[in-house]
Structures are given as structure tokens and as C-alpha cells.
Chains A and B, each alone.
Chain A
Amino acid sequence: MKKTGSQILLESLLQEGVDTVFGYPGGTVINIYNDLPDYPIKHILTRHEQAAVHAADGYARASGKVGVAIATSGPGATNTVTGIATAYMDSTPMVVITGQVPTPLIGNDAFQEADIVGITRSITKHNYLVKDVKDLARIVKQAFYIARTGRPGPVLIDLPKDVQLASTKFVYPENVELRGYKPTYSGNVRQVDKAAKMILAARRPVLYVGGGATASDASEDLVAFSELIQAPVVTTLMGMAAFPTAHPLSLGMLGMHGTYYANMAVTNADLLVAVGARFDDRVTGRIAAFAPKAKIIHIDIDPTSIKKNVRVDLPIVGELRDVMGKIVAKLKEDSEKVKELSEISAPWRSQIDSWRAQYPMTYKSSDTVIKPQYVIEKIRELTRKDAIIATEVGQHQMWTAQFFNFSHPRTFLTSGGLGTMGFGLPAALGAQVGCPDRQVIDISGDGSFQMNSQELATLVQYQLPVKIAILNNNFLGMVRQWQQLFFDRRYSQTPLDLPIDFVKLAEAYGATGLQASSPDQVEGVIRKALETPGPVLMEFKVDREENVMPMVPAGAAIDEMVLAS
């Protein structure tokens, strides 16, 4: 029996195990939406296409599945761009389906036409324009395969309206045949042997962990690896929750707002083992002064990440679990030497401990004004251990990374690579859909929150019990901090002085709104929010000019930190 293009699309989604999609209807996807109720696929109607993509992203990051978003052509499609670029930079597995004007109209500046395949070419792992309904099932199969394998990423399928209406026999391919796409999973044995030798020769080793460790679910292997060689672990923002912060070997985050001891450890290490990390400029600071004394082993599934920014002494392309497993096995062949390594590197760990004691991660508390870091510590104290925390972008994001002390993988959803304001609320929404039994919190700033605040409507409509914590300093805080430190306090366009009543805003959408304006109210508000069913917005009126510290000024070396403002 023949099926139409839109039915084939939905059948194919079922074949891929998709049970939830995020989207927004429109003229060129109206047929897909017409067929949707006939399929056991839940559709979450966001209030903006950008939010649909961020929600699919949050869903994917929290659940480990592929996120799916649907938008119409033209403005619907272009609204997905920020979401797609965010997912691309952070390697989230995602398939975005956009409608397109009928094929005979393509290129004619038809109503709501945009060349979305052209627009998203540089921000997708791959993209497709489907010209013939006979190709559709194969393309969907390929799209999911590409999105979730190798270094994951977003794939876009642009589906013209006439292709949705055309019909053909539905056969879902069993295998994917892509002769140009063969990710390397298995680490080269000779390189692994060399790595083991370099590790055994090290005196001051450090593991540097990025988002790849989460993407490949390598947390346990990472803990085993670091414990075996007794190497301290620094993580990037994206690698944050992949290694438990409470672990004695954890030094927390490195880089621009990293801990003093993490940055000092990297600067003084004689061996840096980079695991699923890509040496972003926010991590390295001035490249010439990054890990100047260290030999670098770089393990990554994506060869383009290797030697892109820094010199690498030993590259190993492969899947992290495979490569770390092989290195651990190799090391275990000589347990005497491994024991020796742990003894020889003991002074190194003591040195790091003294750095930690000298400049611990801390802030000046106050009885009169709410310190943002205090709110984050309290949220951590009062939430479940496996709570999922999403953030927006800015000061609150860095304070969350510094003070939340994550302990479980896939519990920290943040826009690391692109730095997308407005990411957190829809990402939290998606995470809550993907993990209905988990506690999901969006930690936000007042600036970021206003970039996608309309998603309060989505939370209320689906009764998603996301709790939102706005650290309101009436500023675009991070830009203000830079203006204070580097532009002589010339606060150009960063004060958000219009006093918004966030409590009323929440109530207008049918959510609960709570507010704390003094430190003694903080705990009560968080408790009340967690006890209240459904979505709750908490507004904390925090210290207006609190800064994120320590800080490495742009262009400085990572050990040239400003410790306090």
C-alpha cells in the first residue's frame, strides 16, 4: 500500500524509536500535522521555533536520545537557526525537519521560501533537501544515523510540500550505506601503547575532560582511568557533570572562570591527557602559555578537533570508552609501574592540594543582600542529587558551574560552544519531557530569561513542573562585569532598569511566581517552589554588582587570574 510523504516521515520516525517531537505548525508542514494525530508520537507545541529546537536539544542532552524538532518553511525555518547552531557547537544529536515550498516554486522567491539547506550548511553535521518522495525513508534513516554516530550533531531535512503529498510504497531501509562516512571508533593500538608509555613516564599528569565524555557516556570509564593513574581531573564547562565534582581528584572547571587550582595544575602539568575536549579559547586563554610544560595526548572521535588550536604530541582518534579502556588494560599489564607512578606523583597532588587550600572556590557572603552564589548553593542543597540543571548564558551560568558541584552525568544542560542566551528555559522544558520523573531546574539571569520567556506558556500548557530561578540583578551581568573591569565602569546599554514584575508575569501565564529580596527568604522560596506542583518561577533580587571570580582576562594566560574584583 502506498503512503504519502508526510506519512512516510512519521512512519520513519516511529522506526527510529521517536516518541516525542517539538514543533510549531505552518503552511508547508500542515500535512504532517494533519497526519500526526494518527501516530503514537507526542507533539510539544512551543511558542517559538527557536525554543522547539532548544527543547529538542535539552531532551537529547538529558536523555541521551536523538531530539526531533519540526518547523515550517521560511520564517519558521530561519527561527530554528540559533537552536541548530547551538546544538552543532555542543555536538547534540538532533534531527530538524523543516517544510519547504513545493519543488516547482523553489528558487522563485515564493511566499515563505528560504533556502534553509543553504543557510544551515555550516551549522549542521549534514543536511538534505528531499526532491523525490522515493528518497525520503532512506534520508530519514541516514539523518538519524549521522546525528547519533561519530561526533554527534544536528541534521536538517528540508521537505517540500509536494513531496509530503506525493506517495510511494513505504520500505524502511535496514542498513545505512554512506561510503564517505565511516567514523573511527577503535583507537589505534600502537598509539594506545605510546599513550601508556607517556603516562608511565609522567610525574605531574592532569586529565582534561570535555563534553565528549558526556556524549559518549564515558563517565564511569573516566573515573576508573583517573583513579588508576591517580591523575587530577579538570573539566570544561561542557565536561562539568561527566566527572563528579566531589571526587577527591576533581579540580573543577578550568579556563576563564575556572578554579585557581585547576588552572595552576594545567599550567604546571608535565602531561595533559585531553579527553573529548577541543581546546576552546575560553579554556586555553593565551595559547602560547597553555600547558607550556606538558606533553599532550588528545583522545577524540573527531579528527578535526585534534591539532586545531594547540600542538598535540600524541593524537588518538576513537571512541573515548574504547580508547580509555584500552589504555587502562595496557597499563594494568604492568601493575608495579602503575603503583610506582601513583607514588612518584604524590608530591604533585600535594602541591595541588596546597593551591586549593590557598585559593579555594569561595565568595563573600552577606546578611543584607542576596549573593547569587548563595542561591545556587541553596538550590543544590535542597534539590535531589540527580536533579537536572539547565542554565542560560552569563554570570549565573558561570556561578552554577562554579558552585553547583555536579555529581551525575547529563545533569548540566548549558550552551557551552555558542553561548546562547535563551537556551535554558526551553532546554529545561525538553529535559522535563524526556525525563518526566526527574527534578528539572532552570537557573537564569533576568536578561537571558527574557529571550525565551514566552515558553512559560508551554510549561503551563503541558504542566511540566520545571522550576525557574531568576538571579535578577537588573543587568546584563556578564557584559557589565567586563565593562566594569575593562571599560572603566562605562555601563553602556547593560542596565535593564525597567522593573519587571516576574511574579506577575508567571501568574499571567498560569504558573506560580515567588520572590525573595533578602537572604533570609531564599531558602523558604526554594522549598516552597519545590513543594508546589507545576511550573514555578522564583525571582531572587541579587547583589547588582557581584562578579564572577576568579577570572582570566581575555588574551591572558590561564595562570594570570584575577582572583577578586
Chain B
Amino acid sequence: MASREAKHTISVLVENEFGVLTRVAGLFSGRGFNIESLSVAPTLDDSLSRMTIVTSGDERILEQITKQLNKLIDTIKVIDFTDTEYVEREMALIKVQATEDTRAEVLRIVDIFRGNVVDVTARSYTMEITGAPGKIEAVIDLLKPIGIQEIVRSGPVVLGRGAKGLHG
């Protein structure tokens, strides 16, 4: 009966109200579900917020996650993007040490990955990189040997491909 654990990206449209985020996060923690990342912000309709949650689990756990999310009174819609076409973007801000020897290399990497340098000091560069999580992983791998001081990642946000929106 055990099935394979897989990573899932889920969008949840919720009422933009006080306490909804803790309700969703509490649902995951209270039932022992895993949250890998969670990003949330209001939508075009400012009475609604859209959450993007990356989680993992087997088929049974995923079914429970989507059902339990749907059961919350504040939840309007839940979409699991697994097996569908979607675009996915995450942003990372990365602060690297920049010495005489490495400055040019850092800039080259930023350029190759179409990132932007957003802050410069005599000893550091801070850059923004946007893309699928895999691309951000790749940048981090390349920058690690040079010396990363600090990283912050937003967690992915996704939209389904095609003309149709969440409301159909």
C-alpha cells in the first residue's frame, strides 16, 4: 500500500484574513505533514491571498493534505500542480565575499544566470537570482567555493500554463 514519496507544489486560494496563515501552517504541523516552503501574498482581488506550498508525501498523505486544506472554512480553492504544466519561479538574494581574485568570476556567474547585482561593497556583492529552484541551486553550487556569506530564498511561486486562470 505504501507509495512513493514525491514533492508536490500546491496553490491555495484563501480569504485574506487575520489568522489564515497560522490556520494553514497549523494544519500541516498538527497532522505531521511536511512544509518545505510556503509563500503567501494578496492577489489581484485583495480580499483573497494566494499561498504556494511545497510539500512532500506519498499519494495518501497528499490526498489528505488537499482534503484537509479544502476543509478549512477560509479556503476557496486548492490546486495540486503535480502532473500539470506550470511555470515556477523563486527568488534568492545571495551575498558573496568578493576579493580582488574573485570579483570578475562572481560577475560572470551573475551574468550567465541573468541575475542582478543589487549591492556592492569593497568586500562583497549581493545579487538577486530569479528562476526555477533548480537554477538557484546551480548558482549556489557555483558560488559556494567562492564564499557565500548569506542567502535568503523566497520559496517558489507557480502559475499553471495556458490561458486559464485559477478561477477557470
Instruction: Note all chain A residues with C-beta closer than 8 A to B70.
Output: 303
Of residues 289 through 343 on chain A, the ones whose CB sits less than 8 Å from some CB of chain B are: 302-304, 306-308, 311
How many residues on the A side are at the interface (Cβ–Cβ under 8 A)? 20
Task: Tell me the total A-B contact number using a CB cutoff of 8 A.
Answer: 40
Are the C-beta atoms of B19 and A117 separated by less than 8 Å?
yes
Tell me if A122 counts as interface (CB < 8 A to partner B): yes
What residues of A have a CB within 8 angstroms of the CB of B22 in the complex? Answer: 118, 121
Determine whether the beta carbon of A180 is less than 8 Å from that of B15: yes
Contact across chains for B74 and A180 when beta carbons are under 8 A apart: yes
Is there a chain A Cβ closer than 8 Å to B73's Cβ?
A: yes
User: Does A129 sit at the interface, judged by CB under 8 A?
Assistant: yes
If over half of A's interface residues share one DSSP class (helix, strand or loop), that class is named, otherwise mixed; here it is loop
Q: How large is the interface on B (under 10, 10 to 19, 20 to 34, 35 or more residues)?
A: 20 to 34
Chain A residue numbers with a CB within 8 Å of B14 are 180
Chain A residue nearest to B75 (CB atoms) is A180
Q: Is there an interface contact between A307 and B76, defined as CB atoms closer than 8 Å?
A: no
Q: In the complex, which residues of chain A have a beta carbon less than 8 angstroms from the beta carbon of B26?
A: 121-122
Q: Which residues of A contact B60 (CB under 8 A)?
A: 307
Is the C-beta of B68 less than 8 angstroms from some C-beta in chain A? Answer: yes
Judge whether A181 is part of the interface by a CB distance below 8 angstroms. yes
Q: Does A178 contact B (CB under 8 A)?
A: yes
Known interface pairs A121-B23, A122-B30, A304-B68; A146-B73 also in contact (CB < 8 Å): yes
Q: Chain B residues near A302 (CB, 8 Å)? A: 71
Indicate whether A364 reaches chain B with its CB closer than 8 angstroms. no
Residue of A129, A131, A180, A303 touching B72 (CB-CB under 8 A): A180
A178 engages B73 (CB within 8 Å): yes
Q: Are A303 and B71 in contact (CB under 8 A)?
A: yes
Query: Is B67 engaged at the interface, CB distance under 8 Å to the other chain?
Result: yes
- Among residues of A, the one whose C-beta sits closest to the C-beta of B67 is A304
Q: How far is the CA of A179 from the CA of B30 in the complex (A)?
A: 25
Give a binary string over B33-69; 1 marks a CB under 8 Å from any A CB, 0 the rest: 0000000000000000000000000001001100110
Contacts of B74 in A (CB 8 A): 180
Please report B residues at the A interface, Cβ cutoff 8 Å.
Answer: 1, 14-15, 18-19, 22-23, 26-27, 30, 60, 63-64, 67-68, 70-76
22 contacts between A and B (CB under 8 A): A118-B22, A121-B22, A121-B23, A122-B27, A122-B30, A129-B19, A131-B18, A146-B73, A179-B15, A180-B14, A180-B15, A180-B72, A180-B73, A180-B74, A180-B75, A180-B76, A303-B71, A304-B67, A304-B68, A304-B71, A307-B60, A308-B64
Chain A residues packing against B (C-beta within 8 Å): 117-118, 121-122, 125-126, 129, 131, 146, 178-181, 302-304, 306-308, 311
Top 9 nearest A-B pairs (CB, nearest first) are: A126-B73, A304-B67, A122-B30, A180-B76, A181-B73, A180-B75, A303-B67, A121-B26, A304-B71
